[in-house]
Structure 1
Amino acid sequence: MKSMIALMALGAALPVSALAQTSVNIAETAPIVTLNVTETVDVAPDIATVGTGVQTRAQTAAQAMRDNAVQMDKLIAALAKAGIAKKDIQTSGINLSAQYDYSNRDGQPSGPRFIGYEASNQLSVKLRDIKKVGTLLDTMVEAGATNVSGPSFSIDDPRPMLMQARATALKTAKAQADFYAQAAGYRTARLVSLSESNSGGQPPMPMMVRAQFKADSAPATPVEPGQVGSSVTLTVQYALEK
């Protein structure tokens, strides 16, 4: 008991810092460099997507829809005759709304005047022959289309382009990491993490074309497809090693 009391007294007399001393060995970790690398492969597009449709007006909603259906049937038949496969024609929107005239007559304020119903039916059409896009735009108008938008160009299968962009991006990232390693006095850079985001065969913005009525002898609406790009962005981390 006397010995225990003596030890307790000695412990109480020691500085608090002496009691808290702990030996911890932390392994040295290699510096990490994080890189964001984007590579884009540009090629000529092989797909064009065009929006088209018809609008009709009538005094009754039912008549507006009936008239619209007749015009839309003509448009779809013309697309089929032009060689557009059924799988490449998709309804993108159908709308029916009452129309009013809000203008003031004779300078006198008046309420809105009902003028009928407007029906619209819109299609998204995929064109697989880029060289015939201008001719097909004119075909749509001649078949009764009252609006045309696009085309938006893309690649049907962007996977080969993405593979090429990945390979180039990874080589670029490794070259940059090795540069940083050597510049900082390290021997090499070792890949420790990698993540990807990509954009496959899509243009930044769709090209807008205004289709116009024309005589049979006039040239087709000019369309220039240019090129579209498939981009890959890699976020990579390299450990710099001695």
Structure 2
Amino acid sequence: MEVIVLPDAGRIGEVAADAIGVLLDRKPDAVLGLATGSSPLAIYDELAARHRAGEMSFALARGFTLDEYVGLPADHPERYRNVIDAVVVAKVDFAPGAVRSPDGLADDIPAACAAYEDAIAEAGGVDLQILGIGTDGHIAFNEPGSSLASRTRIKTLTRQTRLDNARFFGDDVDAVPTHCLTQGLATIMAARHVVLVANGRSKAEAVHQLVEGPVSAMWPATILQHHPHVTVLLDDAAARRLQLVDYYRETYRSKPAWQGI
């Protein structure tokens, strides 16, 4: 796990976009894992800017989103499929149908989850997965207590997650759905490169557990300690509880320029 502490969200977006650019240069038909939430927005803004400048194309690339609320109408602005379309898909040149999401309106939820797993496998797996992290250590919607071997499935959201997401629903926690479909922890672990982004003081404890705590289902993101290629991009506030933060800074400063992330 590589931990990189950067001065602000803009710089985080640039470093992540650099890695995606290198991947697309090497493999134009790469498969990207796309996360919603506020943390990845700087990455998507940077990708859109580079696309507008003619520096990056997604024409052959494919994407899979992490999760979806269950039961939100297809035209609801907070349906994650609509959110990801607005923040990144519509701003670059993904081909029609190249980005897929779990079907939160499916009549047969278990079958829809199995079909999503099959689609990721048929695409050859995810090359680079973008992640955020919840204040309670969840990644995607794998809440505390989630099986470390889990695959795409339905989950009940914790009260804390619904409180955290209420800001997107007019601060009305009762308007936040209680269930979601989410890629499982084992699904996420199958991605070849994971880029996790965290900003702000509210994420500091989760980041501390992720990087320096024991692997535990109580902090689901800690499973990433077992992944062979994880990059954690943090601002100063999110890194404030890390005991080895000075070492992480020195390691990044000393890194050969050719190595990338």
TM-score, normalization by structure 2 = 0.21
TM-score, normalization by structure 1 = 0.22
Structure whose residues are more often helix by fraction? 2
